[in-house]
């Protein structure tokens, strides 16, 4: 193998006339005799520089690239081991040959630990010294190559990481656009129902007064609320995309329950089902934005209402939990699915909101896939399969968690745990 000298960056460079430049050999010995002897031996092959002590040697190594150093271990002032240690800081790939007289094994062990490639006994034999220096040079070029490969690998790794992040961002963004459309669909359904009612009424009447006028006003108020809701939904997702830091969030659960009841009054999913929304006797506050909590409860309640076309019952209940949850007992099973308990801010008070139905229940294979984006069992065109994925994201962002308990033939209960806020605050 032919070895070419390397510059400080590990590159080989051609000399002025196109000839290969010589490798630089640093000789460090506090005795004039061996220094000169080594200079004579290597002068033709190497660009030889010499130093009479450690300080001079380090200064030289700092000002020019050194390929190989021959160091005497026993020197007055800085010892050869210390020089080696410092050289390693300047350039970890310099090839090093140590010259020893009668060293202890501990000194030799230190030298090997600092990756000296050889140690030669003084007085040295010229052939052995030549071979040792050649091996040290070879080792340096291997070290430089290895370092370059490692650096390249690191570069590639970080490029790959950045690419994965960019793709993840894009994917999240397109999921979010789909989420906006999904969430806005609810209010739009209500708006559409109410406008139909108003249209029918004004088509039949020349003049509106009394009860009918009042009813129309009320419906227009509801439409306005839904339009505001749409605007808030789009604003929320725009905030997500801009990655705004979260402000301190606090919402009255009873106010939200009233909103949800209002919102569902005209929702087609209610049909002839029984919907019970119980307020909490003593109001509790949850650490989440109002629009987010409405969205979570609406998605879960509409799912429960849509679980079967048969008339059934859906109940939304709230409870304040004044202890932390015992997470060690929670385990996914055929009837239970636990989501995001690892991210739950498990400090009392917690708010537990449950949506329970006596619908068909969820078979275990479906239960396992419930929160996957675009997973739906609804006929084509009827469900996007994004509802639960949105619920999960909103709950996760609020440092909450979700438990689903479902028994086929009996029904399903979704419980959302959210960090609560004590009422005094
Ligand atoms: N209460 C429930 N009872 C039975 N199955 C449910 C219940 N809630 C959710 N599921 C199942 O979970 C699936 C995924 O629900 P998700 O809300 O994510 O999407 P979707 O309701 O199908 O579509 P979209 O929300 O767009 O209407 C549903 O298709 C249904 O199979
Ligand atoms: Mg849904």
The residue count for the chain: 425
**How far apart are alpha carbons 191 and 226 in whole angstroms?**
7
191 ligand 1 Cβ < 6 A: no
The rounded Å distance from CA 52 to ligand 1 centre is 82
End-to-end CA distance of the chain: 77
Structure tokens at 159: 């490029």
- pLDDT of 321 > 70? The answer is yes
Tell me if residue 135 falls in helix, strand or coil.
Answer: helix
Tens-place pLDDT, residues 248-303 = 688 899 988 987 887 787 777 888 999 999 989 899 999 998 878 888 998 999 99
Q: For residues 17 and 50, which has the higher predicted lDDT (pLDDT)?
A: 50
Q: Which ligand is in closest contact with the Cα of 378?
A: 1
Greatest mean pLDDT among 119-133, 241-255, 395-409: 395-409
User: Quick one: pLDDT band at residue 6, thresholds 50, 70, 90?
Assistant: very low
185 ligand 1 Cβ < 6 A: no
Residues with CB under 5 A from ligand 2 (ion): 303, 387
Q: Is the pTM value of this prediction over 0.75?
A: no
Q: For residues 115 and 376, which has the higher predicted lDDT (pLDDT)?
A: 376
Q: CA-based angle 80:85:88, to the nearest 5?
A: 125
- pLDDT of 13 > 50? The answer is no
User: Quick one: pLDDT band at residue 112, thresholds 50, 70, 90?
Assistant: confident
The rounded Å distance from CA 311 to ligand 1 centre is 17
The rounded Å distance from CA 230 to ligand 1 centre is 22
Of the given ranges (173-182, 299-308, 371-380, 386-395), which has the lowest mean pLDDT? Answer: 173-182
What pLDDT is attached to residue 262?
76
CB 273 within 8 A of CB 314: yes
Q: For residues 175 and 37, which has the higher predicted lDDT (pLDDT)?
A: 37
User: Quick one: pLDDT band at residue 245, thresholds 50, 70, 90?
Assistant: low
What pLDDT is attached to residue 175?
64
- pLDDT of 235 > 70? The answer is yes
273 ligand 1 Cβ < 6 A: no
**How far apart are alpha carbons 248 and 236 in whole angstroms?**
15
C-alpha closest to that of 415 among 394, 400, 399, 397: 400
Ligand 1 atom nearest to 355, measured from its CA: 1
What is the DSSP track for 194-263? HHHHHHHHHHH-SS--HHHHHHHHHHHHHHHHHHHHHHHHHHHHHHHHHTPPPPP--EEHHHHHHHHHHH
The number of beta carbons lying within 10 Å of the beta carbon of residue 362 is: 22
**How far apart are alpha carbons 74 and 88 in whole angstroms?**
18
């Amino acid at each position: 193998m032919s070895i070419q000298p390397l510059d400080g960056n590990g590159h080989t460079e051609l000399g002025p006339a196109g000839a290969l430049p010589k490798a630089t050999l640093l000789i460090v010995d506090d005795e004039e005799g061996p220094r000169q002897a080594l200079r004579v031996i290597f002068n033709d092959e190497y660009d030889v520089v010499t130093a009479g002590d450690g300080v001079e040697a380090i200064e030289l190594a700092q000002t020019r690239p050194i390929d190989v150093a021959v160091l005497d271990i026993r020197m007055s002032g800085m010892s050869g081991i210390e020089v080696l240690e410092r050289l390693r800081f300047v350039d970890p790939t310099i090839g090093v040959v140590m010259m020893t007289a009668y060293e202890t094994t501990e000194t030799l062990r230190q030298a090997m630990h600092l990756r000296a490639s050889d140690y030669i006994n003084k007085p040295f034999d010229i052939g052995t010294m030549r071979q040792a220096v050649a091996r040290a040079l070879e080792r340096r070029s291997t070290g430089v190559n290895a370092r370059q490969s490692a650096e390249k690998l690191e570069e590639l790794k970080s490029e790959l990481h950045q690419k994965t992040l960019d793709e993840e961002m894009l994917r999240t963004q397109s999921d979010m656009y789909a989420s906006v459309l999904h969430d806005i669909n609810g209010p739009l359904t209500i708006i559409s129902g109410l406008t139909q009612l108003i249209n029918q009424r004004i088509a039949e009447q020349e003049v509106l007064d009394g009860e009918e006028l009042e009813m129309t006003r009320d419906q227009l108020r509801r439409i306005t609320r839904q339009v505001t809701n749409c605007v808030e939904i789009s604003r929320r997702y725009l905030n997500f995309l801009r990655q705004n830091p979260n402000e301190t969030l606090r919402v009255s659960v009873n106010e939200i329950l009233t909103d949800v009841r209002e919102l569902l009054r005209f929702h087609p999913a209610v049909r002839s089902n029984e919907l019970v929304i119980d307020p909490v006797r003593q109001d509790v506050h949850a650490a989440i934005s109002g629009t987010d909590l409405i969205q979570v409860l609406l998605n879960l309640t509409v799912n429960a209402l849509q679980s079967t076309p048969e008339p059934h019952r859906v109940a939304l209940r709230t409870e304040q939990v004044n202890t932390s949850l015992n997470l060690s007992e929670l385990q996914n099973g055929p009837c239970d699915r636990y989501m995001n308990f690892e991210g739950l801010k498990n400090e009392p008070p917690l708010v537990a909101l449950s949506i329970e139905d006596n619908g068909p229940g969820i078979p275990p294979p479906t239960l396992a896939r419930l929160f996957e984006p675009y997973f739906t069992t609804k006929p084509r065109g009827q469900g996007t399969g994004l509802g639960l994925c949105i619920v999960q994201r909103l709950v996760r962002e609020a440092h909450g968690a979700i438990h689903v308990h479902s028994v086929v033939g009996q029904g399903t209960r979704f419980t959302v745990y959210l960090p609560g806020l004590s009422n005094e605050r």
